[in-house]
Every structure is written in C-alpha cells, then in structure tokens.
Structure 1
Amino acid sequence: MAGFSRKGAKRKDRFVSFIAASSMTGIALGVAALIIVLSVMNGFQTQVRDRMLSVLPHIELYVSGASHQEVLSNWRQVADKAEQNPHVTGAAPFVASQAMLVRGDKLTGVQIRGIDPDLEYLVSDLAQQMIFNDLSALKEGGFGIVLGNQLARSLGVTVGDSLMMMAPQGSISPAGFAPRMRQFRVVGLYSSGHYEYDASLAFVYYQDAARVFRDSGNSGVRLRITDMQQAPEVAYQLAGQLPTGVYVNDWTQNNKTWFAAVQTEKRMMFLILTLIVAVAAFNLLSSLVMAVKDKRSDIAILRSLGATPREIARIFLVQGAIIGFLGTAIGVGLGALVAYNIDVIVPFLENLTGQEFLPQQIYFISQMPSNPQLSDMVVIGITSLVLSLLATIYPSWRASRLQPAQVLRHD
C-alpha cells in the first residue's frame, strides 16, 4: 500500500512538473511571437517610409493664386526664404498633377511630377534609383518622361518608345470637349522598391509639365530637411516664416491615413499577442494551485516545524517567479534570434514551400523586413514578468492559509 502511495505521488509530481513546463513554454512562445511580430511591423513601417521618401520630398510648399509659369519664375525667392531655416538642406521646383498615359489599347492613370533634373538630387534619391539612363535625359522642350519599372511593364513600353499623355484639363470646341494631349517619349526608367510609386508615378521636365497642365495641378517648391522625423515641426516653423499664399505640407500629412493605420494595427497586435502571454500566465496559476494541493502535507509539516505563513507564501512566489523569469528569458532570446535573422529565415521558408510570403503588389515591398527595438523587448519582458508574478499571488495566498492541524487530521 505504501509503495502504491509513493508511485501515485511520483505520478502527481510528474504531472505538476509537466504543467509547469507547459506554462513556461507558453510564456516563452508568447513573448517570442510578440517580439517577432512587432519587429516585422517596425521594419515594414520603416522600409515603406524610407522608400516612399526616396522619391517624395520631406516638405512641399504650394503657391496658390498664380499660374505654373508665375510660380516657376519666382520659385527661387520662396526657396531662399525657406532655406533660412537651419533644418532645410535642399530645395527644387516642381509641378504636380494627374494624367492618363495611353499606349495602344492600354490606358493608365498616373501621378505626374514635373522636376528640374539638375536639382532633383537635393530633395530625393531619384537619380540613384535610375535603372535605364539618368535624369539628364530630361530636357526642356524635349517632352521626355521617366517611368517606374512597374508602370513601364504594365504599359508595355521601354526606353525610346512613345506614348500619349492626356491632361485632365481640356478645351471646348463646336465639336464638344477635347482633352489636352501631348506625345511623350520614354527616356528613362527608375525603381524605388516601393510598388505603388513604381507603378503610378512618372517624372517629366518641370517646364514641359507647366505647358501641358497649365491651370490644373499644383506647383511650388520641394524641400529636404536634416531629420525626416522633425518634418511636422519644421513645417510649422516654415508656415510662420513664409509669405501669405504659400501653403506647407509635410510627408506625415500627405500619408497620415496610412501611418495611422499601421500604428493602430501595431497596438492591436500587441494587445492580441499579450493575451497569449496572459493565457500562459493563467496556466502557471493552475500549475501552482495544483502544486499547493499536492503539497498540502508538506506545507502542514513545515508549519508545524515553525514556518510562518509568509515563508510558505514566499516558497510558491519564488517558484512562480522562476518559471515566469525562465519563460520570459527564453522567449526574449528566441524572439530576438528570429527577429535579427528574419532576412535569412523567410527566404529559406519561401524556397522550401514555394510560396511568396510578401507579394509586392499588396505589401509594396518584396522582402520581409525586421527592425527589432530594444524598447519593445523591454516592455514585452516586463509585461510578461508582471503577468507571471500576478499569477502566483492567489496560489501563494492559498498555501499560506492552510491550517496544519486540519490537513494532518485528514491525511
């Protein structure tokens, strides 16, 4: 009979140990998943932002109430005023409008940017992103156009081909409305790595754009600043320094909806994945409750030998803290290992499964990015430890409330 009891006790100990190990594994997996997901979302946001700003300016100054030619004739005055701000490092004129590009039976709506090819390097990285020819191929009066590689592929054109550009503004004649059209020749291709822009953004010489669009679209000055993160503050300063009629837009305003959606998604993912850690913490609570129930006799003996309720509670607090700490440490290590090597892991899995995890047409970029942040890891680690410690309070309290006389009498 005694042998049977010892055998049953061993089985109970193994079961409790298994539950404790499961709790530790759950905490580790939850912490690792949280670190990996947030690192990927950070990397996604950084990659898209950097590629976006490689072709777009940090700040744009729009001049209202004047024609494109008037704005372009006086753009240097506005630029000189803006460059008095110490954060502004470069300025260049621009004309922006929407248009339709026609090639045979293919018709595509695009964003047209009229630029000065000699000054564009001051405000964007377009010159470094050219894959066929360079920006010097854009000449005033030459009506050349530089297309993104995805846009050129969808239209079926390459360097040297001609296409028709239709401006949104037209003219009224006895025959009806006639859109303004102009033939352009493809003189270069670029690739920014941002699918949306490579498929919908084209560049022409700014004076040619002014002639085609006349009163439609906007014109003004594009600016680059020392730190893109300070764009809202610099834009606010410029708004107070520039003359009336000049409007200031920074890149965070132009893309506010997208970045707000990413931040909201990041917060929601943090909450959802934190629930995984919380579930693991509840498993820890269950394992400690079972441990208290299994060790009732041992607790009673310790109390009879003089152990105080606080010392009994401390035993289970330490046990739960060790499980929570080990689970958190393993999770942080595993999460960091995957997050810092995701550029190797994901291509391996794609080659192994034959599936593309990040279609460029949907996610704008073709490679899985990762940007682990130490601050995120610290917050995740502290959150996991707090949840683990909270899970130990009730079992520890139950253990400290056991009465030795009642336990030993029933045993």
Structure 2
Amino acid sequence: MNLSYFIAARYFRSKAKKNFITVLSRISMIGVAVGTMALVVVLSVFNGLEDLIKGLYASFDADLKVMPALGKSFPVDEDFLSSIKRLDGVAILTEVIEDNALVRYGDHQVVATVKGVSDNFLDQNRFENGQLVGEMSLGEPDKPQAILGRGLSYFLLMDLDDEFELMQVFYPREPRAGSIDPSSMYNRELIRPSGIFSVEKQYDDEYLIVPLDFAASLLDYGNRRSALEIMVLDGFSIQAVKREVRELLGPDFTVKDSDEQHASLLMTIRLEKLFVFLTLTFILAVASFNIFFSLSMLAIEKKKDIAVLISMGGTRRFIRSIFLKEGAIIAFSGALVGLILGFLICWVQDRFGLVSLGITSSVVDAYPVKMQWTDFFYTSLSVIVITMLASYRPARIAAKVNTTQHL
C-alpha cells in the first residue's frame, strides 16, 4: 500500500478520543454527500422533465415539418407531393393549413389557431400521450367536425352533448370596393365539435383541428399550404430523411425535426439545468470549506508527527501528498455516499413515483426522472476539482513545518 495513503487513511479512521477536528471531518463528509446527492437528483429531474416535454410535443407534432423559408404559405400540386412521398423513409405526408381565426360558440368567442389537416392526421396516434374526451373524428366532407384543445373548450364553455349548437369560425378577407355589406369582410363557416384533447397547455389553449378542405375554404388558401408534416418509417434515421428532404426542396423551404420545432423551450430547460448545476456546485464548494478548515487544524495538531516523518527522511512533497489524500478520502467518501443515495432516490422515484406533482389533471402523476451517466461524471469531476482546491493550501502549510521546533 502507498505509505502516504496509509497514513492519510489512519488519520481518517483514527479511533482516538473524538475531538473537534474529527467531528469537523465527518461534517465535511456529510456535506459533500448531501451536495452530491442533491446534484444527481436535481439533474435527473431536469432530464425527466425534458424527456416528458419532448414526449408530449412528439405526440402532437410530426417527426419533420416542412415550411416556406419566406412567407407563410406555398403552392402544392400532386407532382410536388408525390416527389416527397417517394423519398426513402417517408411513411406519411400530411398537408397542413394553419392560421388564426375567431371561434364563437354560443355567447362566447375566442381567437384560436385553426389547423386544417388531411385525412391521415388521425391515423398517426397524435394524441397517444395525452387525454381525450369525446370522438376523435373530423367527420365527412359534407359534415365536418372539429377537435379542440381543453383550454379552448373551457374558454368557449363547450358542451359536446349539445347536438344543436355548432361552432362558428370567422376569418377576415379583403373588402370589396364599394361594398357596404359587413358580411363581405369575413368568411364564416359552421362546424360541429366532436372531441377535446389535452396534450400540453400551449396546444390545449390555442388549437382547433379541422379537415383540410374546411380550412382551405374558410381561409381562402386554395391549393396553398402553410406546412407539410412528415412521419418517418420505423428503422429510418430522422436526420437522414431530413437531409434528403432538404436536398429535394432546396433553399426555399426549411425542414425542422421535433427538437428544432421547439428549440427555444428546450434551450430554456437546458439553460435552467446548467444554472442549477452551477448553483449546487457552488453550494458544494461552500461545503468543502469544512475540508479546508479540518485539514488546516489537522496540520496544526500533527506538527510533531510531521516533524518525525521529515526527520526520518520524508520529503515536503511526501507530507503534502498525505494531506491531499486525507482531503480526497473525506471528499470521495462523501461523494460515493452521495452518488449512491442519489441513484437510489432517483430509482425509487422512477419505479414507484413517491413524490407527486400535486396536479390532478396532469398527464403524469409524479415527478419524472431520468438518470444519465454524464450527470454522474460531471458531478464526480466537480467533487475532484473542489477537493483538490480545498486541500492544496492546508497541504502546503503542513509541508512547511519547522522540524527543529517540534521534535
């Protein structure tokens, strides 16, 4: 066994009468353990929240979304659509018309995002991670039906069981010169609500899903579309299909995957995770001051032992290594305990969901967690760096002991 490590371990495991230095060393170890455990747990919760949000959005969004680089719509024809469908990996191509319109139901009205979709939209399990009420159907061409978000249904006081009340949807159009008829200033269509979905608050409060032909008639889009949504075949890389679509369509179109469609939200979560990591690391650094003080006091208490070691041939470097390793033992013992406790807490939460979100209508009942090896690695790396910084000064002080004064 390495001699410096042996001496450091003897100091740490000393069974002599407990004194303030020993108590401070144990407190240091507990502080490092608690800080490490908190880092692992909090980072795992952020990972779980990110995955949850991705899953919720993925249940509503397509794998890829094609939009015009300029403007809000573009013309399509059968040849254009067929060229995309023929690409390897393209499973389903959904045409989309999306714009804001005024929705009225009874005496209530609200501005909503009307999303017209082709018939294959509901064949893609778009709402599998959400909650559904009523019938998930867009009706027939002569009897169109709409599916709306739960928040939107609250604003309109929607009653799906009322077969006689229809939604009125209004969209402004360019007024005709010389016309004094107010009805010439907007399009108006009637549609029956068939179902209510709940996926994510942004969608729940804004979206009204309607048939593509209904949206084209209401919004005067004709053969123009605001977006195309692509579902990728299982076994194909989304990024590979994305590159193929970009090469086919050229610079006039943008192609975004699910993460890019919500880049700002995901970036916010990752920035929050980074700042939480830095904050808890700072707290861990504060806790490591106990290591600094305990090693400094240990160096003072062991001056006679140090003088004996030096007189027996021990070098200053050897003395420094004893105290550096003493600090490493304190910190690594605490870090190991913290990593194990953090892992166990996350595993129990993931398996049994002990800590509830406290929201009865939430898609998930308990806080989601997801452990990643990178979190364990960076947490361990932080402990190593902090330990070396906290131990270096006391180790230098110990190495400067005057031998003649303490023998």
Provide the TM-score with structure 1 as the length reference: 0.81
Which amino acid in structure 2 is aligned with residue 180 of structure 1?
N
Correspondence list, 1:290-305, <5 A: 290-305=297-312
Question: Is the CA contact 2:306–2:398 (under 8 Å) kept in the aligned structure 1?
Answer: yes
Whether 1:198 aligns to 2:204 is: yes
Q: Hey, what does 2:398 align to over in structure 1?
A: 399
Residue 212 of structure 1, CA deviation: 0.7
CA distance in 1, matches of 2:147, 2:332: 57
Q: Hey, what does 1:3 align to over in structure 2?
A: none
CA distance in 1, matches of 2:226, 2:305: 82
Correspondence list, 1:20-59, <5 A: 20-59=25-64
Residue 20 of structure 1, CA deviation: 1.0
Q: 2:220 aligns with which of 204, 214, 217?
A: 214
Q: Hey, what does 1:341 align to over in structure 2?
A: 348
Choose 264-273 or 81-90, whichever is displaced more: 81-90
Residue 98 of structure 1, CA deviation: 1.5
Residue 155 of structure 1, CA deviation: 2.0
Q: CA RMSD in A?
A: 3.5
Which amino acid in structure 2 is aligned with residue 146 of structure 1?
I
CA distance in 2, matches of 1:243, 1:95: 21
Residue 56 of structure 1, CA deviation: 1.3
- Indicate how the Cα distance of structure 1 residues 16 and 169 shifts in structure 2: closer, same or farther if over 3 A, else same: farther
Q: Hey, what does 2:377 align to over in structure 1?
A: 378
Question: Is the CA contact 2:355–2:366 (under 8 Å) kept in the aligned structure 1?
Answer: no
Which amino acid in structure 1 is aligned with residue 102 of structure 2?
M
Question: Is the CA contact 2:242–2:255 (under 8 Å) kept in the aligned structure 1?
Answer: yes
Which amino acid in structure 1 is aligned with residue 323 of structure 2?
F
CA distance in 2, matches of 1:395, 1:13: 21
Q: Which runs of 5+ in 2 are unaligned?
A: 1-14
Q: Hey, what does 1:260 align to over in structure 2?
A: 267
CA distance in 2, matches of 1:65, 1:380: 45
- Indicate how the Cα distance of structure 1 residues 406 and 331 shifts in structure 2: closer, same or farther if over 3 A, else same: same
Residue 229 of structure 1, CA deviation: 12
- Indicate how the Cα distance of structure 1 residues 360 and 278 shifts in structure 2: closer, same or farther if over 3 A, else same: farther
Residue 179 of structure 1, CA deviation: 3.0
Question: Is the CA contact 1:12–1:294 (under 8 Å) kept in the aligned structure 2?
Answer: no
Normalized per residue, which structure has more helix? 1
- Indicate how the Cα distance of structure 1 residues 97 and 394 shifts in structure 2: closer, same or farther if over 3 A, else same: same
Residue 324 of structure 1, CA deviation: 1.1
Which amino acid in structure 2 is aligned with residue 338 of structure 1?
I
Residue 146 of structure 1, CA deviation: 0.7
Residue 91 of structure 1, CA deviation: 1.4
Correspondence list, 1:14-25, <5 A: 14-25=19-30
Residue 341 of structure 1, CA deviation: 2.7
For residues 105-164 of structure 1, give each alpha carbon's deviation from its aligned partner in whole angstroms, at most 9, with x where no partner exists: 322222221122345424x52378573454445222313111123332332213244222
Choose 256-265 or 306-315, whichever is displaced more: 306-315
Correspondence list, 1:40-119, <5 A: 40-62=45-67, 71=76, 74=77, 76-119=78-121
Residue 373 of structure 1, CA deviation: 0.8
Query: What percent of counterpart residues are identical?
Result: 24
Question: Is the CA contact 2:138–2:144 (under 8 Å) kept in the aligned structure 1?
Answer: no
- Indicate how the Cα distance of structure 1 residues 53 and 228 shifts in structure 2: closer, same or farther if over 3 A, else same: farther
Residue 221 of structure 1, CA deviation: 2.2
- Give SS of 2:19's match: helix
Which amino acid in structure 2 is aligned with residue 309 of structure 1?
R
Question: Is the CA contact 1:239–1:248 (under 8 Å) kept in the aligned structure 2?
Answer: yes
- Indicate how the Cα distance of structure 1 residues 11 and 53 shifts in structure 2: closer, same or farther if over 3 A, else same: same
Which amino acid in structure 1 is aligned with residue 220 of structure 2?
R
Q: Hey, what does 2:6 align to over in structure 1?
A: none
Q: Hey, what does 1:163 align to over in structure 2?
A: 167
Question: Is the CA contact 2:134–2:195 (under 8 Å) kept in the aligned structure 1?
Answer: yes
For residues 63-103 of structure 1, give each alpha carbon's deviation from its aligned partner in whole angstroms, at most 9, with x where no partner exists: 699998963xx2x5334322444343321222111122222
- Indicate how the Cα distance of structure 1 residues 168 and 42 shifts in structure 2: closer, same or farther if over 3 A, else same: farther
CA distance in 1, matches of 2:235, 2:397: 56
Q: Which runs of 5+ in 1 are unaligned?
A: 1-9, 351-355
CA distance in 2, matches of 1:88, 1:269: 40
Q: Hey, what does 1:283 align to over in structure 2?
A: 290
Question: Is the CA contact 2:137–2:146 (under 8 Å) kept in the aligned structure 1?
Answer: no
- Give SS of 2:226's match: strand
Which amino acid in structure 1 is aligned with residue 115 of structure 2?
R
- Give SS of 1:92's match: strand
Whether 1:309 aligns to 2:354 is: no
Q: Matched residue pairs, number?
A: 386
Which amino acid in structure 2 is aligned with residue 374 of structure 1?
W
- Give SS of 2:151's match: helix
CA distance in 2, matches of 1:336, 1:133: 42
CA distance in 1, matches of 2:105, 2:217: 21
Provide the TM-score with structure 2 as the length reference: 0.82
CA distance in 2, matches of 1:60, 1:335: 39
Residue 210 of structure 1, CA deviation: 0.7
Question: Is the CA contact 1:167–1:181 (under 8 Å) kept in the aligned structure 2?
Answer: yes
- Give SS of 2:380's match: helix
